Amino acid sequence: MTPELKAKLLRYANECEPFTAHNHIEITDIGEGRSRVELHLTCESMNRWGQPHGGILFTLADDACGIAMSGLRQETCVTVSSTVDFMAPAGDARHLIARGEVTRAGRRTCFCRAEITTAEGKLIAACHSVWAYTGKPLPLD
């Protein structure tokens, strides 16, 4: 991946998704079939027990998988199915990191996984998902 393409993909990923920005999620790295997405937790991210809400963790994992796919092929994609395993509480962490990876890519579908950890490396959740490419190029320009 060229530095120019990487910059375009990062700009697109961070500027063209209002839901992601609203929830303090930032795409910090992208490569061919991989990504790094970070969540800055706020009080609105938490459930009633003071832990990150499962919905925000799912969103973080979903973004990590979708961005990893965009790095592999600059085409829009949609989630077909997804499973998230919530493995441990985040404790008092206020910053989480998701690393997404394409595990297999076909012509129309793609399989991805993501792991969410604290900044210290504690595994919080893992996700496996299936995606479909739409055939539409990403609007990068």
Burial group, residue 29, by CB count within 10 angstroms (0-12, 13-18, 19+): middle
H/E stretch holding 22: helix 18-22
3-15 helix and 54-72 helix, angle to the nearest 10 degrees: 150
Domain containing residue 84: CATH number: 3.10.129.10
**Which pTM was predicted?**
0.94
Encode pLDDT of 74-126 as tens digits: 999 999 999 999 999 998 899 999 999 999 999 999 999 999 999 999 999 99
Encode pLDDT of 16-50 as tens digits: 889 999 999 999 999 999 999 999 999 999 999 99
Range of the domain at 60: 3-137
Number of folded domains that form the chain = 1
